[in-house]
Structure 1
Amino acid sequence: MTYEAEVRPSYLLHGFGGRIGFGQRPALVVIDLARSWLDESSQQGSCRLEPVLEHTLSVLAAAREAGHPVFFTTMQPDPVDVRGPIGRKMLQMSSPRALATAASMAELDPRLERRNDEPLFVKARASAFWGTPFDAYLNARGVDTLIITGCSTSGCIRATAESAINRNLHSIIVREAVGDRSPTAHEANLTDIDLRYGDVVTVAETVAYLRATTAEKFVQPG
């Protein structure tokens, strides 16, 4: 029996698993598709995420074509922060090697071709909202739907999806455009996210929605 087959009936029985649906004003966030995950020389690098990058590029192209806001994140440990409990839990973040190479490994994959008007948030924890001005950027643009892509499903994707729904956003996770170092963790967390923190949808559904939704022009204050 799969994890989903085991837990979904119980969640539904207890009132979880409703559908959020898409809202009216979307934004796309691409989470941590940087060298730290895609470069094989990295401690946590994994070429298994190449399909995730390719699917993310498809969603990214649709969002750009329609004029919707696009955001990026990357993760870089704080040398002081990782001396505490988080460093003891995540040993590779606090190792001398990790800290020495953190800056270069935080660079986004060049295939994403981030544009000057697409903000990049450098975060020290899992959620894209933790310790960043992401909230303010979304509020300024009137965003009600956050489309989430990137990695990893069990960490930064899940944390961002939870933060998004806690802020009453339509939390949308693109199934083929998120990934994890562990296929088991990936599938289990996608199930949990879909039942508790957002809607897990396909690339095709997402692209169709982005193309059909009229983008509101953002006017910079001042």
Structure 2
Amino acid sequence: MTAAQTQQAHGLGNRDLLDQYLAAGFAGRVGWGERVALLVIDMAGAWTSQDEMIGANLDGVLRNVRRLLDVVRTRDDIPVVFTTMAYDETYSDLPFPSRLKTPHLERMIRGSERVRLVPGLDRRPHEALIEKPRASAFFNTNLPSILAAQRVDTVVVVGCSTSGCVRSTCESAIDHGLRAIVPAEAVGDRSASAHEAALFDINARYADVLSVEEVVGHIERLPRTAGAVTTDA
């Protein structure tokens, strides 16, 4: 391969890359299963306050997350699971390489405002809250057990950040044999370019990226499932 060919192969725009993916069988659709859960990723102070080291204005994302919560909460057969990241003040549960790569984690002390959910989410007592030690909501948490107990086969993933914890959670979802759906307007990132690139990759590799309107419409049409199990926090 010539230098020019190498540059072209490594410089595809998203449209050209999507065409290449589609020709190769990438970017298929996982679709919806029968039992759905809503995963709200890291909508807490450290990520949603612009005064924080890695914070950003996610007001629009929060409005769309609230819209989905309002729809889901009209039913008793769709569990809601929230996540945050939190560590002991001694850092005994925060490996040193993680502190070197992402030192903002040292500020995420268990019990602090930084790791508390945004009050506007109005978390209910039966909606689980998981402290995850890494980007994925599945890594070293009881999320797989929570979902398995309710026979969930589809997760709707919302929250932040698109390029980090949302993407990682979607990758883990498909690794666990689950369908993942991402409402585009209900996820956000501090970087617009990282957000767009991550959504492209998520849609091509791990999940179906849909509009909030499409997701709301599908949930409203879902037949109610008997035998729902309440999730305790």
Query: Same fold, TM exceeding 0.5?
Result: yes
SS of 1:116's partner is coil
The aligned counterpart of 2:179 is 170
CA distance in 2, matches of 1:119, 1:99: 20
The aligned counterpart of 2:103 is 91
State the TM-score, normalized to the length of structure 1.
0.91
1:154 to 147, 163, 177: 163
State whether residues 37 and 80 of structure 2, in contact with CA within 8 Å, keep that contact through their aligned partners in structure 1. Answer: yes
Root mean square deviation, CA, Å? 2.0
CA distance in 1, matches of 2:17, 2:87: 34
The aligned counterpart of 1:24 is 34
2:23 to 6, 13, 25: 13
1:38 to 31, 41, 48: 48
2:94 equivalent to 1:82: yes
Offset of 1:37 from its aligned partner? 1.3
Percent of paired sites with the same residue: 41
The aligned counterpart of 2:214 is 205
State the TM-score, normalized to the length of structure 2.
0.87
CA distance in 1, matches of 2:37, 2:218: 12
For structure 1, the residue ranges without an aligned partner over 5 or more in a row are none
Closer/same/farther in 2, CA of residues 54 and 91 from structure 1, 3 Å limit: same
Closer/same/farther in 2, CA of residues 100 and 64 from structure 1, 3 Å limit: closer
State whether residues 87 and 109 of structure 2, in contact with CA within 8 Å, keep that contact through their aligned partners in structure 1. Answer: no
State whether residues 151 and 180 of structure 1, in contact with CA within 8 Å, keep that contact through their aligned partners in structure 2. Answer: yes
Structure number with bigger Rg: 2
Moved over 4 A (4+): 99-102
For residues 35-57 of structure 1, what are the alpha-carbon distances to aligned partners after superposition, in whole Å with 9 as ceiling and x for unaligned?
1111233211212x110000111
Query: Which segment drifts farther, 131-140 or 7-16?
Result: 7-16
Q: Which amino acid is the alignment partner of residue 141 of structure 1?
A: Q
The aligned counterpart of 2:119 is 110
Offset of 1:2 from its aligned partner? 8.5
Offset of 1:191 from its aligned partner? 0.4
CA distance in 1, matches of 2:224, 2:39: 16
SS of 1:66's partner is coil
SS of 1:82's partner is coil
2:198 equivalent to 1:195: no
The aligned counterpart of 2:142 is 133
Residues paired across the two proteins, number? 217
CA distance in 1, matches of 2:20, 2:158: 27
Offset of 1:86 from its aligned partner? 1.3
The aligned counterpart of 1:214 is 223
State whether residues 32 and 154 of structure 2, in contact with CA within 8 Å, keep that contact through their aligned partners in structure 1. Answer: yes
SS of 2:26's partner is coil
Q: Which amino acid is the alignment partner of residue 87 of structure 1?
A: R
Query: Which segment drifts farther, 131-140 or 65-74?
Result: 65-74
The aligned counterpart of 2:154 is 145
State whether residues 32 and 74 of structure 1, in contact with CA within 8 Å, keep that contact through their aligned partners in structure 2. Answer: yes
For structure 2, the residue ranges without an aligned partner over 5 or more in a row are 1-10
The aligned counterpart of 2:8 is none
